[in-house]
Amino acid sequence: MSPLHKQLVTDEQGRPVGVLIPYEEWLRIEQQLGIAAGVNGSTQLQRHEGGVHLAEDPVAYQRRLRDEWT
């Protein structure tokens, strides 16, 4: 693997909070990891499709939690 040309992003105190890499290198990393890129470089999310099954009505849950504070 060739070295990455990265640039650290820091906060006001100089602590690292992120890394910037050239887009071409990002595409190469995705290819090496076997990540399928979709339209506009987004990953394919079809495997996460589906519904959320809740055991309780969300509004009733919220009211119950708020009632615990009173």
C-alpha 30/C-alpha 63 separation (Å) is 44
**Mean pLDDT computed over 51-56:** 85
Report the predicted TM-score, pTM, of the whole model to 2 decimal places: 0.40
CA dihedral 46, 48, 50, 52 (to 10 degrees): -160
pLDDT tens string 9-46: 999 999 999 999 999 998 888 888 876 555 555 556 66
